[in-house]
Amino acid sequence: MAERSFKAEVEHLRKGEGDVFTGEGILAITKALLENGVGYVGGYQGAPISHLMDVLADAEELMSELGVRFEANASEAAAAAMLAASVHYPIRGAVTFKGPVGVNVASDALANLSSSGVTGGALVIVGEDYGEGSSIMQERSHAFAMKSQFWMLDPRPNLPSITKAVKDGFELSEASNTPVMLMVRIRSCHVTGSFATKDNVRPPLTVKEAVANPRSDFNRVVLPPMSYLHEQDKVKNRWPAAEKFIVENKLNEFFGPEKAPLGIIVQGGMYNGLIRALQRLGLADVFGNTEIPIYVLNVTYPIVRDEFDGFCAGKDHVMVIEEGQPDHIEQQLGSYLYKLGRKTKLYGKDVLPMAGEYTGQVMLDGVTGFLKAAAPDMLPGQVRAPNDAPPAIPDLSNTVPIRPPGFCTGCPERPIFAGMKLVEQELGKHQITGDIGCHLFASLPPFEIGGATMGYGLGPASNAAFDGGGERRAISILGDGGFWHNGLSSSIGNMVFNKSDSVAVIVDNYYSAATGGQDVLSSRAHNDTKSTNNPISAALKGVGVEWIRQIDHTYDVAKVRDTVREALTTDYNGPKVIVMSSECMLNKQRREKPLRNKAIKEGRRVDVPRFGVDSDVCTGDHACIRLSGCPSLSLKRLEDPLRDDPVAHIDQTCVGCGNCGEVADAAVLCPSFYRADVVHNPSSFEKWRAGLRTKTISWLQNRRDARRIRVGDVHVTAPQGARAAPQPPMGALT
């Protein structure tokens, strides 16, 4: 069950000729795939294209009506490999994953695919996770296109352009027998807008029909001597064919006056940012009509030399806007200019920063810098000679705290890391590597567990140098998503084969949780179209792990602590693997809350737990928070002149996961925590018994109060600094 359901939106995918679709970019891409007769789709989830996978999964019914095969691939490599179907068969296929990390994983298959060449259109939709809000290292997918020679589309970020790029991509792929990568940037994935729809098209040849009539041709196999021929074919035939198609079909666009002494070349994805900068400088109108010629590279690789040269003709200054580094495009253009003997001056990373997202301000500064050098008269007077200084706004950089993402309220991974932290307090710091997934948040405060992440499923593998063991065994962490992605072989198999004397912790939250809660092989839910309920521990046994511990309730902090301690201290010197399983709380709440509310409404007995802190018992040392970090466990200030520090406080968003009580117990923290179970619709016996208890307790309390003096005067300021986050919503991280 994915975090976000697109069932309602998927109905829009049925729209036909003459209709208008309004919605998110991701959904528009799916619609465009169907309109262009795609025969099979697949991919691997990850921001920013997780929702695309969710949409595809939710649209499975519609796709099967059209004869389109949908595969939730095991990894990006598996997804790219699926495009092999388009090598021999004239079937259009599309897969999606994130870039550049997904492209890294897929690069083997992509390189082979590019060498073989394709008959049917093959489209790789890459969600480029670059810039603010990205969760990965900052690199570009562009280099992969250059090294394997497949073509790269980077359309202008509006729905008509993005959906047209899907059509162009398929056609370009077929015209040049080359796979095409359609890059959508993080914000264009979620940009909203409208486009005119067409009827969905059933693939002329479905995969079912194709598999009934198999084809093969050894000339397409990447083996010598054919692979040498593939290389020649790439540069002699496929490349020129691509250039011809790009030019003839006007995939790149020109805006602004035809004749001008200067111009700007921009990646399609950066077009809106450029226009905004020009709008602010008074050089473009609201519709993007510009005073400066713009050459929009909707195809960023290859760059057609003649088309570029045509744009430069008569221009003394051209600027290229290329986000990210290295400056592949700028280098290419510079080389073209030089070889053409042009005197045109090229601007780019000299007026724009080499690295980092080209935000609105960066773009404005860059374009201004270019114009100051190339055409200062065009700049508004304000820019040329600014007069009034803006008012000084106090610097808040030391006041406003950073707010990185963290574990959700009630997350079952929190107690795992609380337990590990307790072991750390006992046995000292250990060498720990993390993996990709929610559990990587443990490397941030308050846990600060783990010091490296090398890639999906590579947590244990990245500890291999320490596999020989030592005074303190190395620990690695792996999620269930990473385990099935490739961790089983790359990490666990590696540990077994090399007789590793280290510890691997597999965090099993029943989903690929960080990417939005998609099912994986070991998910516990029933899934109509996928095989779930394949236990991780069975797979571990299968590859030869002998020391396996399974914890089915991660909230048992003491058990987690003891098991980790056992793994670190046992005499057994082979690989030790602990599988810690509890359901992702986000998904659990989403599933159970409506059921619970329904049960309460129907008058059934329901017990709703929530934690609380007795503020008069709490001393304000915040040790509990350092072992938890739960959003619902926060602080509040007491209006008590005797108290200096704020005390712990649990707000109404608490889901009663039990972590607080377990930690207070296991870490011997303090007795201020309590759990209150509110019993809805109690039985009459329960009510009677509770009445009796209350009566007796009240009698005891009154009796004591009559004999002693009680001076209670605790004032609580509400709600300063009190409230925590509500249940986090949908989204995708990796």
Partner 1 sequence: MNQMLRQKTPDARVAEIIKLAVMAVGGQGGGVLTGWIESLARSQGYVAQSTSVAGVAQRTGATIYYVEMIPHSDNQPVFALAPSAGDVDVVIAAEMMEVGRAVMRGFVTPDRTTLIGSTHRQLAVSEKSVPGDGIADAEEVKAAAEIAAQRLILADMDQLAVLQGSVISASLFGALAGSGALPFSREAFEDAIRAGGKGVDPSLKAFAVGFDVAQNGVAAPEPILETDESPVTGSNEQATEWQVLLDRTEALPAPVVAMARAGLGKVVDFQDCTYGATYLDELNAVIGRDSAAQEWELSTTAAKYIANAMAYDDIIKVADLKTRAPRFARIRDEMSVKDGQLVQLTEFFHPRAEEVAGMLPAKLGARAEANPRTMERLERLFGKGRRLRTDTLPAFLMLHILGGLKGYRLRTRRHAVEMAHLQSWLDRSLAPLAEDYALSVELLKCRRLVKGYSDTHARGLTKFDTVMNAADMLKGRKDAAEWIARLREAALQDPEGKALTGAIETVRSFV
Q: How near is the Cβ of 3 to partner 1 at its closest, in Å?
A: 8
Output 212 or 389, the one with its CB closest to partner 1: 389
- Quote the CA–CA distance of 187 and 128 in Å, as a whole number: 9
d(CA 361, CA 639): 45
State the pairing for strand pair 151-153/192-196: unpaired
Cβ proximity to partner 1, 92 vs 561, nearer residue: 561
Q: How far is the CB of 18 from partner 1 (least distance, A)?
A: 18
Is residue 581 within 8 A of residue 413, CB to CB? The reply is no
Smallest gap from residue 286 Cβ to partner 1 (A): 4
Integer Cα distance of 189 and 157 in angstroms: 9
What distance in Å separates the CA atoms of residue 262 and residue 372, rounded to the nearest whole number? 12
Least distance (Å) between residue 182 CB and partner 1: 17
Please name the residues in contact with 71: beta carbons below 8 A apart, sequence gap of 6 or more: 40, 41, 42, 79, 82
Nearer to partner 1, 452 or 724 (CB): 724
Task: Compute the least distance from the CB of residue 383 to partner 1, in Å.
Answer: 9
Helical axes 305-312 vs 239-248, angle rounded to 10°: 40
Q: How far is the CB of 680 from partner 1 (least distance, A)?
A: 6
* Shortest distance, position 430 Cβ to partner 1, whole Å: 17
Pick 119 or 589: Cβ nearer partner 1? 589
Q: Which is nearer to partner 1, 192 or 498 (CB)?
A: 192
Buried b / exposed e along 628-657 (16+ C-beta atoms within 10 A): bbbbbbbbbbbeeeebeebbbbbbebbbbb
Rounded CA gap, 345 and 118, in Å? 39
Minimum distance between the CB of residue 199 and partner 1, rounded to whole angstroms?
23
Structure tokens at 388: 């009034």
**Rounded CA separation 168/160 (Å):** 12
Exposed/middle/buried for residue 203 (C-beta within 10 Å: 0-12, 13-18, 19+): buried
Residue 283 gets which letter from DSSP?
A: S
What is the nearest approach in angstroms of partner 1 to the Cβ of residue 526? 26
Q: How far is the CB of 569 from partner 1 (least distance, A)?
A: 21
Instruction: Return the number of the residue (543 or 722) whose C-beta is nearest partner 1.
Output: 722
How near is the Cβ of 530 to partner 1 at its closest, in Å?
A: 23
Q: For residues 629 and 637, give the distance between their C-alpha atoms in angstroms, rounded to a whole number.
A: 18
Q: How far apart are CA 330 and CA 347, in angstroms?
A: 8
Q: Of 326, 325, 263, 330, which Cα lies nearest the Cα of 303?
A: 330
For residue 279 the two structure tokens come to 């709008």
Closer Cβ to partner 1, 360 or 544, answer by number: 360
Adjacent-strand bridge partners of 555: none
Nearer to partner 1, 214 or 404 (CB): 404
Closer Cβ to partner 1, 535 or 658, answer by number: 658
Query: CA torsion 442→445→451→456, rounded to 10°?
Result: 30
Nearer to partner 1, 598 or 704 (CB): 704
* Enclosing H/E stretch for 113: helix 101-116
Of 201 and 690, which CB lies nearer to partner 1 in the complex structure? 690
Distance CA 77, CA 302 (A): 24
